[in-house]
Structure 1
Amino acid sequence: MALGLFRVCLVVVTAIINHPLLFPRENATVPENEEEIIRKMQEHQEKLQLEQLRLEEEVARLATEKEALERVAEEGQQQNENRAAWDLWSTLCMILFLVIEVWRQDHQDGPSPECPGGDEDELPGLEGAPLRGLTLPNKATLSHFYERCIRGATADAARTREFVEGFVDDLLEALRSLCNRDTDMEVEDFIGVDSMYENWQVDKPLMCDLFVPFTPPEPYHFHPELWCSGRSVPLDRQGYGQIKVVGAEDDTPGCICGKTKLGEDMLCLLHGKNGLGRPGSEAGVSLCARDSQYLDTMQVMKWFQTALTRAWHRIAHKYEFDLAFGQLDTPGSLRIRFRSGKFMPFNLIPVIQCDDSDLYLVSHLPRGPSGGGPAASTDWLLSFAVYERHFLRTTSKALPEGACHLSCLQIASFLLSKQSRLTGPSALSNYHLKTALLHLLLARRPADWKAGHLDARLHELLCFLEKSLLEKKLHHFFLGNRKVPEAVGLPEAVRRAEPLNLFRPFVLQRGLYRKTVDSFYEMLRNAPALISEYSLHVPSDHTSLPPKAAVS
């Protein structure tokens, strides 16, 4: 028993001592597959090292991109701060500019006869000598030029007016005889306006502009709604108005055709035949805009042209000349053509009187303030032509005998006309010249317009135009001008209106402004040579009135 236990213990001790993990032997033999395992472990270790390098490169790249993004964000934030500061300064500068402009309009609205020096920053790239450097011919040359070239060329103006007025009287009388007093418009006597009736016409051939007022049949009337210049009026509608057809009793829009039985052959000029549009009936001419109670300018012109054509056919056998419409873009333009080949143009313009004043609403103007047209066909242009004629006549009575105010206007208009033929028409018109003269007449003493001051006043007129062009501001003479004497009789709404800038289109159209200023300075440069040349030789390129028009 004891021997057996001893043997078992001996075996256990021997096994423990010979276990390779507890007591390894130095000369132990390595299994055959251990080298393969070591090789694979080395390859795995190399892969791990390569992966570690790749991860380190990726971390470095991400860190670089993060720094770049942070740098871009900082720059963007700095730019936003700079932009905000710039916007703040721009807003402050704009507010300051508006304040200065309002102050100038409030305190410097009167005309300034002084010549401007010219601002190079205001007209970048424009070439032209300042007006102060202009040397006009002396008084003797100017007087000789006026007597020979202008006064002599307009000597037959009185005969032209007399001939045209006699013919238009006959034409309008024929028109009235064709109209029905109960349903048709009533055409009144014509009114002569513009340069031919203000005695400063220089363009050839001589042109008569005649207003023809018309009114609706009783008991209805026209109700003008004026849009004088003001803050509540859109810029494109300043100086315009609308005309509503209003009943006499209830002051509501309407037409007589709805309350009166018309004959089968009678036409309502407002709403067509009988106002009912019966099937198979011939439609009349509608003067109101579609679905509106306001008169349409184009429809009125079509009606007026049709009426004139019928009137001419009635009296054509009495005359030995032809009558036709002139310019297509001027609906009221007419032209008398004689058998000799000579012609005589004139303008008949349908207008509507504003209440009992001399203010008229005009459908179209053949010549007048430049700028954009009306915003809608129901917009009628306010015309102060009758007031302008009365003001010039009244002022002339207070001036010295032989005053030079109309001579200045004629010479300036002559130069502008020749320049327009040379380089084409610009936005500067005769109406602007007349407006400038009216401002100067109000600012100057009567004694300053003596005949001997022609050169000084002409220089001053051109100087005033240059100043207005440089400032892009030429105020309408009557609208909002509180310096106009009350004796002129302007309506109070016109006197209280905000001033209307006739040069406002120059602010919006830089190309038109550049062309106009270039043409103006070229006209100034050509003026001395042109006046001297025409003083010596007057070209025979004008068409005169025939000795006597034959009337059968």
Structure 2
Amino acid sequence: MAMGLFRVCLVVVTAIINHPLLFPRENATVPENEEEIIRKMQEHQEKLQLEQLRLEEEVARLAAEKEALELVAEEGQKQPEGQAGWDLWSTLCMILFLIIEVWRQDHQDGTLPECTGSDEDELPGLGGTPLQGLTLPNKATLSHFYERCIRGATADAARTREFVEGFVDDLLEALRSICNPDTDMEMEDFIGVDSMYENWQVDRPLLCHLFVPFTPPEPYRFYPELWCASRSVPLDHQGYGQIKVGLADGDPLGCICGKSKLGEDMLCLLHGKNSGVHPSSEMEDLLCAKESPYLDTTRVMKWFQIALTRAWHRIAHKYEFDLAFGQLNTPGSLKIKFRSGKFIPFNLTPVIQYDDSDLYFVSHLPKEPWGDEGGGAGTPASGTEWLLSFAVYERHFLRMTTKALPEGACHLSCLQIASFLLSKQSRLTGPSGLSHYHLKTALLHLLLSQRATDWKAAHLNARLHELFCFLEKSLLEKKLHHFFVGNRKVPEAMGLPEAVRRAEPLNLFRPFVLQRTLYRTTVDSFYEMLKNAPALISEYSLHVPTDHASLPPKAVIL
């Protein structure tokens, strides 16, 4: 009887081990769509049903053998030692059956894709550790390349910034002149951010990114909510916030356009038209989302584009060029077009300041060349989620760090060369998941961890190699933390909001964990970039392409 119970227990253990929910395969991955999931579940259910039938037959056979053995024992109690040997043999057979079942379960689904958690065995190497096969040009070649191809290409950056800033000042002043201070939002002075203002721009044409903070008319105010803190936020939605619109005294949202008479051509910025909406009516025409007190990014950008168009028409007669909207997928993209056919692009983005900090909520991130996202964040889940931009903090940190580094430090040169190689690789093989923002984030981490003396100009080759090593390690681990979010090593002098310092680290490479194809494409592109780097640097050291989109030397503001 005891031996029979033991056999039954072995069968139960076998079924438990074969159950996919209790002991899933460690190298399994989630199929990419629901139909694939359902198909796999049906196949596995059929296998379990067949296995259950076979186990039931085995249990029945064992029960029959047990009854036969008990019958023999009752008839004569013959050869007890032989019976004990038979029981031992049956037990060994069951154990062997259990081992075979475990092995079969681990190998029968070998066609399933492997987990992307650790892909070191599947990544294309350049021999041993991949970067061991990377041979960067020597110091003299790198310096020659930098002087001819990068420094020369960015020589007119200051003149381009000056021209764009002067025009944007005039444009915003015209916008303010057509706004009603009682009902319209107030536009503040622009703020220059990103590579053009951090002195590492290398892509052509030179592109200025400008933030334009705005505030609501009295008696309203914005109530920013960091990380959408009023509700639980999934990991892939970290790095966002919401902007609630309300009265300064905390009363419910209302509109004063019904209390103030507007001109025929005036537009209330809380409403799409002067429709005399009463505060208690539905908010269908608000810049907020429908029936919501939260600002909608799409409606804000639509209003901003309309306001800029009206402002340009007011001052167009003063200039010898045209102003047009640039990329359709970047709402703040503008382009100055000269009669000669040359142009100057720039991005003008409305933003909202978070409290008294240098953290800003951005309606849309500008697109980097060749499709890379400029801020390292994904696409918002809804129109009320605003992206958090640390661009001003990044500019301040680079300026503060530069003052502490040796004269002629190579940190920006290192970033410029890496950015140049990434742009050229994107032109060759198309965009990947690696962006210029990721390069800058990696450099910021290295600046914080290395000694100041390590960034002397003579160490350019070593620091560039170190930057690529850091990126490789981050790609292998699928982990690149945002430089400011949750980074306690950032100096307190930066003035980061405490909520940002105490937040959980934000992984900019998290999409690679979920998107296997994107990860593979990015890794392949990264190693291809390293492979092509020596030849590319040598080629461009001898030939510097002309730029068709530079600032015309005789552009005149009338």
Partner of 2:146: 146
203-212 vs 225-234, which deviates more? 225-234
**CA spacing shift, 1:550–1:397, aligned 2, 3 Å:** same
The one-letter code of the counterpart of 2:344 is: M
Name the counterpart of 2:227.
227
Which amino acid is 2:218 matched to?
A: E
Greater Cα shift, 360-369 or 202-211: 360-369
Q: Partners in 1 of 2:145 and 2:272 — Cα distance?
A: 57
Q: Deviations 1:374-402 (Å, cap 9, x if unpaired)?
A: 01100000000000000000000000000
Deviation at 1:272, TM superposition (A): 4.4
- Aligned amino acid, residue 420 of structure 2: F
Q: Deviations over 1:93-116 (max 9, x none)?
A: 99xxxxxxxxxxxxxxxxxxxxxx
Quote the sequence identity (%): 77
Whole-Å separation in 2 of the counterparts to 1:542 and 1:322: 18
Read off the aligned partner of 2:171 and give its amino acid letter. L
Q: Verify the 8 A CA contact 2:153 2:202 in the aligned structure 1.
A: yes
How many matched pairs? 450
For residues 248 and 125 of structure 2, the distance between their equivalents in structure 1, rounded to whole angstroms, comes to 59
Q: C-alpha distance in 2, partners of 1:175/1:234? A: 39
Alignment gaps of 5+ in structure 1:
1-72, 95-118
Equivalent AA in structure 1 for residue 400 of structure 2: T
Distance 1:141 1:80 in 2: 66
2:418 to 399, 412, 427: 412
Name the structure 1 match of 2:553: 547
Letter in 2 for 1:164: V
Match of 2:477 in 1: 471
Cα separation, partners in 2 of 1:82 and 1:489, compared to 1, 3 Å: closer
Do residues 498 (structure 1) and 504 (structure 2) align?
Answer: yes
SS at match of 1:189: coil
- Please identify, of 150-159 and 127-136, the stretch whose mean Cα deviation from structure 2 is larger: 127-136
Which residue is 1:208 aligned to? Answer: 208
Q: Does 1:521 align with 2:520?
A: no
TM-superposed deviation, 1:306: 0.2
Structure 2 gap segments, 5+ residues each = 1-7, 29-115, 368-373
Corresponding residue for 1:261?
260
1:442-457 paired onto structure 2 within 5 Å:
442-457=448-463
Summarize deviations over 1:206-238 as a string: whole Å, max 9, x none: 000000011100111111001079994212320
**Residue 49 (structure 1) aligns with:** none
**In structure 2, what is the equivalent of residue 45 of structure 1?**
none
Q: What do residues 160-208 of structure 1 show as CA deviations (whole Å, max 9, x unaligned)?
A: 0000000000111111011000001111100000000000000000000
Question: Is 2:329 the counterpart of 1:329?
Answer: yes
In the alignment, which residue of structure 1 is the partner of 2:348?
Answer: 348
Name the structure 1 match of 2:182.
Answer: 182
Q: Distance in 1 between matches of 2:311 and 2:447?
A: 42
Q: Which is bigger in relative contact order (C-alpha 8 A, separation at least 6)?
A: 1
Find the structure with the greater CA-based Rg: 1
| One-letter amino acid of the counterpart of residue 432, structure 2 | S
> Contact (CA 8 Å) 1:269, 1:285: kept in 2 or not?
no
Q: In the TM superposition, what is the alpha-carbon distance from 1:369 to its structure 2 partner?
A: 3.2
| Change over 3 Å in CA distance of 1:92–1:413 after alignment to 2 | closer
| 1:192 corresponds to 2:192 | yes
Any conservation in 2 of the 1:364–1:381 contact (CA below 8 Å)?
yes
Q: How does 1:11-410 map to 2 (within 5 A)?
A: 80-84=15-19, 88-90=22-24, 122-129=119-126, 130-227=130-227, 232-257=232-257, 260-263=259-262, 265=264, 266-274=266-274, 276-277=276-277, 286-367=286-367, 368-370=374-376, 372-410=378-416
User: Contact between 1:472 and 1:507, CA under 8 Å: does it hold in 2?
Assistant: yes
Q: Structure 1 residues 261, 317: closer, same or farther in 2, change over 3 A? A: closer
Please give the root-mean-square deviation of Cα atoms over the aligned residues, in Å.
Answer: 2.6
Task: Quote the Cα distance in structure 1 between the aligned partners of 2:500 and 2:321.
Answer: 44
Deviations 1:292-327 (A, max 9, x none): 000000000000000000011111111111110000
* In structure 1, C-alpha distance between the alignment counterparts of 2:553 and 2:132, rounded to whole Å: 46
Q: Which residue matches 1:10? A: none
SS at match of 1:276: coil
Deviations 1:85-138 (A, max 9, x none): x754549999xxxxxxxxxxxxxxxxxxxxxxxx99624543242012200000
Task: Quote the offset at 1:370 in angstroms.
Answer: 4.2
User: Does structure 2 retain, via aligned residues, the 8 Å contact 1:229–1:498?
Assistant: no
> Contact 2:486–2:500 at 8 Å: present in 1 too?
yes
2:246–2:253 CA contact under 8 A, matched in 1: yes
3-state SS, counterpart of residue 257 of structure 2? helix
Contact 2:272 2:287 (8 Å CA) reproduced: no
- SS of 1:244's partner is strand
Q: Distance in 1 between matches of 2:308 and 2:343?
A: 19
SS in 1 for 2:350: strand
Q: Is the 8 A contact 2:245 2:294 kept in 1?
A: yes
